[in-house]
Structure 1
Amino acid sequence: MEDGKLTVRAVERALDIMLCFTNAAELTLTEIAARVDLHKSTVHRLLASLEGKGFIMRDTSTDKYRLGYRLWELSAHLSPDTDPSVLLLPEMERLRNQLGETISLYVQDGLERVRIQAVQSNHAIRRVAPVGARMPLYVGASSKVLVAFAEPAAQERLSASADWPAGLDQQAFQQQLSETRRLGYATSVEEREPGAAAVAAPIYDRGGRLVAALAVSGPANRLTLELMQEQAPLIMEAARRMGTMLR
């Protein structure tokens, strides 16, 4: 039984190492050890195992680690019938070509939202949206959509969570959620990031279940509040069309 616990712990630690690359393309052994709070010798052994299976690569010239090609092999077998990040990509590209700004797809994970797909703007000055990035669920257009259109029980759990920021004005946040439900979409201007703006709408599957938030983002001096309000019907229609593609 103890061996089983140790094996599971090793798997968890290996996965923690993989997750270090969510916000970094390359990391040194020391950086990884600091992020997972493990001794460098332990991390080195785990990295060697991951490297042997092709999940991690090491650049011998810089002695830095990066994700390996085996992940690409696995991602190639994601089912477009069940994975919205694969199925909806062509529609996201179409919306990008129509509006010119960066298009993102977000899902909720606990008290965070995760970007599971993105199509970058073609503008020279644009908002780059890395896939896999995590952001707090209490700020931003996509966050408001994911909370406002969630099941009532899920909303109650979120608002009652001890992990919500102590300084969050719950009354003001609830007013924002009510406005989002009334309009059918949400906007944000420099709420999370200076100089950035976004507008988002909910995507429901054919069973009426909230699946994701579809967001358009860009520089606030180009993607003004007036323009976002003007484009909102196009984004909601794109979200509705995407929803019909989901089981």
Structure 2
Amino acid sequence: MKGNIKEDGASALKKGLSVLSCFSWQKSRRTLTEIARELNLPLPTAARLTKALEEEGFLERDKKSKLFSLGFQCYLLGSIAKKTGGLRTMALPYMEDLRKKFNETVNLYVREGDSRVCFEQVESSLNLKRSAKLGDRFPLWAGASGRCFIAFMPEEEVFRILDEVESLTPNTILDKKVVMEKNRELRQLGYSLSVSEREQGVSSVAVPIFDASPQPAACMTLSGPTARFTEEMVRELIPALKKTCMELSLRLGAERRSVSLLETGG
């Protein structure tokens, strides 16, 4: 009997979580019928589950339209997960694997305003390496990592940020047309490569990481001395980094079709 109770409880929990998983950036409001149909549940079962989730604050229902949306408790839990480093914890094993394979520094960046911030880092074991401090801020307009964010921003916002560009090295890209073309390439290819754009003698390959929203949640970058970033090494690095960022994106709730640019065959 206890086993059956435990199994029933686990089954109900899974069904409740599957109801919450029905909601996405594209489908943020759902009818009861849509939820039941998508989960292949009888309408009375879907009604019981949504009622329980609404009572606990995980769902809200508009009194006029009768449409469900995610409730404040979902927002609260998401905020706590973000604050306590859920992304960092999830990404760290992948970063360590990439460092083990290529022995170059791996960085995780998130966007804050018009800057990208170093959120996590796994350093190369070599003496000559590229490093940043956790919390260091860098402009979005310089380097491969910044392009992972700026490439998906509205054009008017991109031009506003590009008005602030200044030469950091002889390779810093100042031409707005060139920047916009590189942004288009990133959206098509799923990665960006920079050579001495922000730091002289440093090369980087960066790939965006997505969640359920259209904007990148973060990006992952491998960087190091340009002399070590040979054509052969970069050719091997790109699919490995894209595969990592695809897996992280799917774990963060992105739909595979919306992040097809991260497919390793792309």
Taking structure 2 as the reference length, the TM-score comes to: 0.57
How has the CA–CA distance of structure 1 residues 225 and 189 changed in structure 2, closer, same or farther, with 3 Å as cutoff? farther
Supply the AA of the counterpart residue of 1:165: V
Which residue of structure 2 lines up, in the alignment, with residue 58 of structure 1? none
Deviation at 1:193, TM superposition (A): 0.5
Q: Rg larger in 1 or in 2?
A: 2
CA shift at 1:177, angstroms? 1.0
**Paired residues, what number?**
167
Cα distance 1:83–1:193, how it changes in 2: closer, same or farther (>3 A)? same
> For the residues of structure 1 that align with 2:143 and 2:213, how far apart are their CA atoms?
26
For 1:104, the equivalent position in structure 2 comes to: 107
Indicate how the Cα distance of structure 1 residues 166 and 117 shifts in structure 2: closer, same or farther if over 3 A, else same: closer
1:88 paired with 2:113, answer no
Work out the CA distance in 2 between the residues paired with 1:242 and 1:218.
Answer: 23
Map of 2:196 onto structure 1: 190
Taking the aligned partners of 2:213 and 2:139, their CA distance within structure 1 comes to 27
Aligned pair 1:164/2:164, yes or no?
yes
Preserved contact between residue 102 and residue 129 of structure 1 (Cα < 8 Å): no
8 Å CA contact retained: 2:186, 2:192: yes
1:178 matched to 2:157: no
Question: Residue 60 of structure 2 corresponds to which residue in structure 1?
Answer: none
Which residue of 1 is the match for residue 133 of structure 2?
Answer: 130
Give, in angstroms, the shift of residue 237 of structure 1: 0.3
SS at match of 2:228: coil
Helix, strand or coil for the counterpart of 1:221? helix
Superposed CA offset, 1:222-242 (max 9, x none): 123442233101100011111
Distance 1:161 1:219 in 2: 28
Q: Counterpart of 2:131 in structure 1: which amino acid?
A: V
**In structure 1, distance between residues paired with 2:215 and 2:180:** 21
1:229 aligns with 2:235: yes
> Which residue number in structure 2 is paired with residue 8 of structure 1?
none
Q: C-alpha root-mean-square deviation of aligned residues, in Å?
A: 2.3
Are the equivalent residues in 2 in contact too, given 1:104–1:118 (CA < 8 A)?
A: yes
8 Å Cα contact 2:195-2:204 kept in structure 1: yes
Q: Does 1:246 align with 2:218?
A: no
Counterpart pick for 1:220 among 222, 226, 250: 226
Q: CA deviation at 1:132?
A: 1.0
Contact in 2 for aligned 1:79/1:86 (Cα 8 Å): no
Which runs of no fewer than 5 residues in structure 1 stay unpaired? Answer: 1-77
C-alpha displacement of 1:158: 2.7
Contact 2:106 2:123 in 1 (8 A): yes
For the 8 Å contact 1:186–1:199, the answer to whether it is kept is yes
What percent identity do the matched residue pairs reach? 34
Q: Contact 1:185 / 1:236 at 8 angstroms: preserved in 2?
A: yes
SS in 1 for 2:88: helix
Q: CA deviation at 1:160?
A: 2.8
Which consecutive residues of structure 2, in runs of 5 or more, have no partner in the other structure? 1-79, 168-173, 254-266
SS of the residue corresponding to residue 165 of structure 1 reads: coil
